[in-house]
Amino acid sequence: MADETEWHVPQLCIVLFRFPGVHGAQDAVRDMKAEGWRHDEVEADALVSHEANGKVHVHDPGAAVAGGTLGVAAATILGLVGGPWVLLAMVAAGGILGGLVGHFAGRIIPADDLARVGDAIPRDSSAYVVLVEEHDVPRVREVFAELAAGVLTFPVRTEMDGLAGSEVLEQLRAG
């Protein structure tokens, strides 16, 4: 018998919290994590700041960590074949190269979009940009409700949006 379970592709949303001060977003995230917020519902996040002199900074922590981890793992496997000295050199090189690749290519939220956020927020302010599923938006908003100077939420448009109501989606539902 065929499985009659209805498919649901969750809608992803960006929640953008604006904070006063260049370090306001970073401080708020640090404080909420210290208070026990685990941010399990967050798919991706980034910190953006706009200095008083107009310079924009983007910090996307997840990309470089993932790339570095992958690089160290690959280098460890290759280094085991070459012996202990090669292992140490390969792990270091793999971590550095993997981190660089992750930093530049592994971003979930595109760097250009984050830079545009930085340009759009007022000078001497910062933003915490979070990618979450639609049903998690209220939970994330609640965490920063009292700290943020402003909150903006909008859905992420994807190629999957074009599938809604299409023949392809109907075929997926049919089995």
Distance CA 124, CA 146 (A): 19
Q: What is the pLDDT of residues 15-30, one digit of tens each?
A: 999 999 999 999 999 9
Longest dimension (CA), the chain: 65
Whether the full predicted model's pTM is greater than 0.95, yes or no, is: no
**For the chain, domain boundaries:** 1-60+125-175, 61-106
Mean pLDDT of 146-174: 67
pLDDT digits (tens, 9 = 90+) for 69-109: 555 555 555 555 665 555 555 555 555 555 555 544 455 77
Helical packing angle, 84-105 and 61-82, nearest 10°: 160
DSSP states of 112-154 as a string?
Answer: HHHHHHHHHSPSSEEEEEEEEEGGGHHHHHHHHTTT-SEEEEE
Quickly name the fold that domain 1-60+125-175 has: Alpha-Beta Plaits (3.30.70)
pLDDT at site 39? 80
Average pLDDT value for residue range 143-153: 89
Dump pLDDT digits (tens) for 106-128: 557 788 888 888 889 899 999 99
